[in-house]
Chains A and B, each alone.
Chain A
Amino acid sequence: MLFNSIDFAIFLPIVFILYWFVTNKNLTLQNSLIVVASYLFYGWWDWRFLSLITFSIVVDYFMGILLGKEENRRKRKLLLWVSIVVNLGFLGFFKYYNFFVDNFIAAFSLFGREFKASSLNIILPVGISFYTFQTLSYTIDVYRQKIEPTKDFIAFAAFVSFFPNLVAGPIERATNLLPQFYTKRTFEYSKAADGLRQMLWGFFKKIVIADNCAEFANQIFNNSADMNGSTLVLGALFFTFQIYGDFSGYSDIAIGTSRLFGFNLMRNFNFPYFSRDIAEFWRRWHISLSTWFRDYLYIPLGGSRGGTWMKIRNTFIIFIVSGFWHGANWTFIVWGALNAVYFLPLLLTNKNRNHMETVAQGKLIPGLKEFLSMVLTFGLTVFAWIFFRAESLGHAISYISGIFSSSLFSIPHFKDATMLTPTLLLVLFFIVIEWLGRESQNAIQNLLTKNRIARWSFYYLILLLIFIFAGSSQEFIYFQF
């Protein structure tokens, strides 16, 4: 079920009423409702997906219990590996099988050998990368004895399948989310109101910014050979706002929805396009994934404790794996590697933790140096997104060649430009609001809080903009990951 669908608009109030008015007296009943609602939400795409998530839940629930009982270190490690192999095995099969088969065939043919294997017509279950990582965090944390294994199967099933963040994150840690299913939730007005605000802004980001930018990004990327350099630059810019609006919009709706039910999910985006260097960008972009890789991959590999080569190796590993996590395509791997190249100079000169605070804190406008740093970082990010969006490496290279051609300074040309001016104005409005709200949890959290009429008028304006300028509905990009 899509957040931006009429189905969800009907589903959410029904679950909300059942949750707070019917099942509120009994915690297990309330958690059961979450499981049922989450299964309905997920099965709305394809009921066959439910068997996979159920299998993951059952496997990791019992692995957790066995890990809790087992004291022998070797046996504990074996149990952990069973969980990792099962979870990553599913993920690998559904997401990467065809990629590996195709690349093996290509590699063998390079050496004049024929390797016989055929690709399979595999449907990628929506959000499999997200819930796989979420459930893996549980078994790893139980193994590390950071969390007690749960004996409450319903609570564990609710933790893995929790519908707000099930298909596109934030990827929650068991240490944060699971305990919230053990305790009775009480309705808090301010939390719920804040959740609604965050949802509203998330819908604006997705429906207005991402979907309208997508129209142009698709038009340009799908016909890049016919476009001049300046249009290609605009195409990359439109995709930059599309992916941010799409993914951070989803996270906002997910976090806002969970707050309506009394839960706190972790923050996933923190105004990344206002970053002054790439290290800051990666502290602010898809935080739940970056920290997951940091805690479960980078640190076990030795992190930045070793020598220079180890730092370089670990940085490349984490960025390349992160790229590969996004999809079975070399474009994602190059995107990850490119970000590693951006990041390394900062790491090696110990400047990767230079900008820990929000840019221009307490000020309306940034200083010139800050502004230029933001522009440069933004430019590097836009360039990297070309690889992320391109269909293949060849497409990305021809796209970049097209940008750096004699037509770079010619007038941009669009097949259908009727929505161009409204889209540009909406993006400008979006940037201004994000800038004004950059010190809050979400952009509109503390906007106009002192004047109720102004605040409500602003909310009506956002609703009006959503109503009028809703772009043609596109599935959330991150569902495919």
Chain B
Amino acid sequence: MKKFLLKILIFLLPIILLGYFVDLFISTNLRKSNLYAQKEYPTWNAILEGKLDANILIYGSSRAWVHFDPKIIEDSLQQPAYNLGIDGHTFNMQYLRHLLTLENNPKPKLIIHSIDIGTLEKGNLYNADQFLPYMLWDKTFYEYLSKYKGFTYLDFKIPLMRYYGKWDAIRTSIEMLIIPRINQPQRIRGYQGQNKTWNQDLDKAREKMTKYVIKFDKPSAILFDQYLKECKEQQIEVILVYPPIYIEGQEFIANQDEIIQGFQAFADKYDFMFLDYSDDELCLNKDYFYNASHMNKTGAELFTKKLCTEIKKQENISLH
């Protein structure tokens, strides 16, 4: 028995000893990728390395990511801006980005928070690979990611564990080391305009269901309230923006008005501005969208300019 256990120990020893360094190698190289995990690494890197360098931050999900062009905002409002929209995620994950941003970067003056029907839904661990290089032994990531099904406790504690079966991530990490040229940045300060034309997503959704009813997740709503309160206390101005959604897509949501009223109530409670573009004329033109809830580059540029004009009109928002 002693011989057996000793041999197992000797066999496993190199794996245990090398585990951390292999993990470090994979994570360090993986986070260099501008393309893997739906191009989220440059944004995470900028947040965690304190390189946001922006007075205006854009928060939200994919609608934030593709609707708000920080370059136009910078030119118009004369303040550096960065788009922190996180594709496919609801407020819980947006709040994690907010916390890490404040922890590692100077406090922003203004947050333009793109809210939508999904903001206060429960959500799931979409595009989980975006967290891989950052989550080992990190308490904040653990606190927020462990709310979802996907990673286990040991994924946060044992080196390499979370890379189990992640061939694409490991391959990308090696590629970053040996052929880094296939890594052109796609997002500019977090934003990526979508040069796309209308697709069939809405028709497919209609085939599956006739109406979609949104339910606020209570813990998410409480967290959202807490976030607005914290921003108020820290004197960070917040503008809640309900961006344009294609009109036929809006008709698909059974209780959109109720959702909008809910956000209006949040804004009123903390005396923040709420800009609702759900009945804007942009919503009527299919040419500005590539699906019911996402604008293409042309639409996004028009919308961002419109938004900036509106913000400039507001006398109570001081960015200087």
Bound form: Cα–Cα A463–B164 in Å: 11
Q: Which residue of A lies closest to B161 (CB)?
A: A6
A20 within 8 A of B: yes
Contact partner, B1, options A187, A207, A419, A470, Cβ 8 Å: A187
Minimal beta-carbon separation of A319 from chain B (angstroms)? 37
Question: Are the CB atoms of B152 and A6 closer together than 8 Å?
Answer: yes
Question: Are the CB atoms of B11 and A187 closer together than 8 Å?
Answer: no
Q: Which residue of A lies closest to B168 (CB)?
A: A418
9 pairs, CB–CB < 8 Å, chain A vs chain B: A187-B1, A187-B4, A189-B1, A189-B3, A193-B4, A196-B8, A467-B164, A468-B166, A468-B170
Which 9 residue pairs spanning A and B have beta carbons closest together?
A470-B165, A187-B1, A189-B4, A468-B167, A192-B4, A470-B164, A189-B3, A469-B167, A468-B170
A456 within 8 A of B: yes
B15 within 8 A of A: yes
A residues in contact with B3, CB < 8 Å: 189
Bound form: Cα–Cα A307–B202 in Å: 67
Within 8 A of B (CB), among A441-466: 456, 459-460, 463
Once A6-B154, A463-B15 are accepted as A-B contacts, the answer to whether A469 and B165 lie under 8 Å apart by CB is yes
B residues in contact with A468, CB < 8 Å: 165-167, 170
Classify chain A's interface size: 20 to 34
Question: Are the CB atoms of A422 and B167 closer together than 8 Å?
Answer: yes
Bound form: Cα–Cα A207–B163 in Å: 15
A471 within 8 A of B: yes
Bound form: Cα–Cα A192–B14 in Å: 21
Q: Which residue of A lies closest to B14 (CB)?
A: A460
Chain B interface secondary structure, helix, strand, loop or mixed? Answer: helix
A109 within 8 A of B: no
Within 8 A of B (CB), among A465-481: 467-472
Once A6-B152, A189-B4, A193-B4 are accepted as A-B contacts, the answer to whether A459 and B11 lie under 8 Å apart by CB is yes
Q: Which residue of A lies closest to B11 (CB)?
A: A456
Bound form: Cα–Cα A469–B1 in Å: 32
Bound form: Cα–Cα A20–B163 in Å: 33
Q: Taking each of A189, A207, A463, A467, which has the highest tally of chain B beta carbons within 10 Å of its own beta carbon? A: A467
Classify chain B's interface size: 10 to 19
B136 within 8 A of A: no
Q: Which residue of B lies closest to A422 (CB)?
A: B167
A152-193 interface bits toward B, Cβ cutoff 8 Å, 1 = contact, 0 = none: 000000000000000000000000000000000001010011
Minimal beta-carbon separation of B182 from chain A (angstroms)? 15
Bound form: Cα–Cα A296–B246 in Å: 68
A residues in contact with B160, CB < 8 Å: 467
B residues in contact with A459, CB < 8 Å: 11
Minimal beta-carbon separation of A422 from chain B (angstroms)? 7
Q: Which residue of B lies closest to A10 (CB)?
A: B154
Bound form: Cα–Cα A372–B40 in Å: 53
A272-304 interface bits toward B, Cβ cutoff 8 Å, 1 = contact, 0 = none: 000000000000000000000000000000000
Once A6-B154, A193-B4 are accepted as A-B contacts, the answer to whether A471 and B168 lie under 8 Å apart by CB is no
B residues in contact with A463, CB < 8 Å: 15
Question: Are the CB atoms of B165 and A472 closer together than 8 Å?
Answer: yes
B64-84 interface bits toward A, Cβ cutoff 8 Å, 1 = contact, 0 = none: 000000000000000000000
A residues in contact with B165, CB < 8 Å: 207, 467-472
Minimal beta-carbon separation of B150 from chain A (angstroms)? 12
Bound form: Cα–Cα A65–B27 in Å: 62
Q: Which residue of B lies closest to A21 (CB)?
A: B1
Minimal beta-carbon separation of B248 from chain A (angstroms)? 28
Within 8 A of A (CB), among B146-191: 152, 154, 160, 163-168, 170
A residues in contact with B154, CB < 8 Å: 6
Minimal beta-carbon separation of A468 from chain B (angstroms)? 5
Bound form: Cα–Cα A366–B3 in Å: 40
B residues in contact with A419, CB < 8 Å: 167
Q: Taking each of B8, B15, B160, B167, which has the highest tally of chain A beta carbons within 10 Å of its own beta carbon? A: B167
Bound form: Cα–Cα A418–B169 in Å: 13
Within 8 A of A (CB), among B1-24: 1, 3-4, 7-8, 11, 14-15
